[in-house]
Amino acid sequence: MGRSRTDLLVFIAKRLAVLPFVLLGIIAITFFFTHIAVRNPCASWIPHAHPGALQNCINYFGLNQPLTTQFVKYLSSLAAGNWGIDPLGGQPVAPVILAAVPATIELVLASLFLMVVIGIPLGVIAANSNGRWADHLVRVLYLSGWATPTYLGALVLAVIVGPAVGLPSGGAYTTSTPPFPQPTHFSVIDALLAGSPSGVADAFSHLILPATALAFLNMGIATRMTRSSMLEVLPLDYVKTARMKGLSDIFVVYKHALRNSLISTTTVLGITAGSLLSGTVVIEEIFRWPGMGDYAFNAITSYNFAGTIATVVIFALGVVIANLVADVLYGVLDPRVEWR
């Protein structure tokens, strides 16, 4: 229990050791939920089907077996690396999902960047002018973001703001597939690798609106946390000391006070990962962003169970890893924290 490198590694190892159990729990919950709630998805997969065809479908997917048997079968095929197939298209879900993951990560990272670059300074400004109009303005601003339903903000950005300022609001490129190879599936990185400046500009302009929508709606979390932890730090003696030493106000606020209050902001940003990932479901649907959220939505609503479980697991993995990274960063930033 200390702060050595070994302690950190033990801490991370302990957290990762729990991960398989969490994932197993998530798989079990999602599996049983979907399979108990919808006993016969064949009828919705093939509407108006001949009874014989329905029976074939049930036999093919093993839906007439006991649920536990189905679950064990699913787990063993998962262990063999087979994530199941999409009953509507007939292809395996894994390659489709894995190709969609980078697009979602790109979207989330872009909006995280916006949240940090815009949200944190706003929080500092609010705390610094505590109780005055700038504080009230910032509070109204971030609470507005919080109170705007994701889909409404995204719709307004896509339908009204996008055309007004001339930014594209659908897909990741102007053409459905870019004229260059996609080794990484990160749209901007692919364009950079292909060395086409017009491709980079195209990919970048397509990223702006969805990332802004996602960031605006979650920015409040960063701003609110920065504001409240700045409020805690500003009256402390070391800040007063820094001021008394004659340091400039900006220097004191950004170098001394903000550095300390960023500790809690980092943790909160890690926790927003879940909220950001949830947001991608709606935002990708509206902006036709070719990511996981879009896929998850279609999989869930078309009773594509294999796809549903796989996307839910990947989303959950994202949340757990983001929380772990936030915890580790918290410890790295705050020298008082001991790894345990």
Partner 1 sequence: MPAAIPTEEEASPLPDLPPPTPAPVVVRSPRAPWSSAVIGFLRVMRANPLTLAGFVLVVIICVSAIVVAAVPPLTQLLLGHALAATPYDPNMPTAALHQGPSFAHWFGTDELGRDMFSLVLAALPLDLAIGLSVTGFALIVGSGLGLVAGFWDKPRTLGGAVSTVIMRVTDVFLAFPSLVLALAVAATLGRSIFTTVLAVMVTWWPYYVRLTRGEVLAVKNLPYVTAARASGVSEVRILFRHVLRNILEPLTIYYTLDVGTVLVTFSTLSFVGVTGSITTPEWGQQVEFYQGLLPFYPWTVLAPGLAIFVTCLAFSLLGDGLRDILDPRSRRALIQAAQPSTLPAEVPAVAARGGGGAGA
Q: Does residue 111 belong to the site contacting partner 1 (CB under 8 A)? A: no
Q: How far apart are CA 48 and CA 44, in angstroms?
A: 9
Residues linked to residue 92 through DSSP beta bridges, in sequence order: 85
Question: Is residue 117 at the binding interface for partner 1, with CB under 8 A as the rule?
Answer: no
Nearer to partner 1, 53 or 152 (CB): 152
Q: Does residue 329 belong to the site contacting partner 1 (CB under 8 A)?
A: no
Residue 259 is a binding residue for partner 1 (CB under 8 A): no
What is the full DSSP assignment across 133-163? HHHHHHHHHHHHHHHS-HHHHHHHIIIIIHH
CA separation for the pair 132, 200 (Å, rounded): 43
The identity of residue 52, as a single letter, is: G
Q: Which range, of 1-9, 33-41, 80-88, 329-337, touches partner 1 by CB under 8 A?
A: 33-41
Using CB under 8 A as the binding rule, whether residue 234 contacts partner 1 is answered as: yes
Q: Binding of partner 1 at residue 247 (CB under 8 A)? A: yes
Select the span of 95-103, 176-184, 190-198, 310-318 touching partner 1 (CB under 8 A): 310-318
For the chain, the distance separating the N- and C-terminal CA atoms, rounded to the nearest angstrom, is 6
Is there a contact between 92 and 196 (Cβ–Cβ < 8 Å)?
no
16 binds partner 1 (CB under 8 A): no
The Cα–Cα gap between 46 and 132 comes to: 62
Angle at 258 between CA 254 and CA 259, to 5 degrees: 105
Radius of gyration of the chain (CA): 24
Stretch that binds partner 1, among 46-54, 107-115, 181-189, 237-245 (CB under 8 A): 237-245
Based on CB atoms, which residue is closest to partner 1, 109 or 156?
156
Residue 166: CB partners within 8 Å, gap ≥ 6? none
Interface residue list for partner 1 (CB under 8 A): 18, 21-22, 25-26, 29-30, 33-34, 37-38, 130-131, 136, 139-140, 143-144, 146-152, 155-156, 159-160, 163, 224, 228, 231-232, 234-235, 240, 242-247, 251, 274-275, 277-279, 281-282, 285, 296-297, 300-301, 303, 308, 311-312, 315-316, 318-320
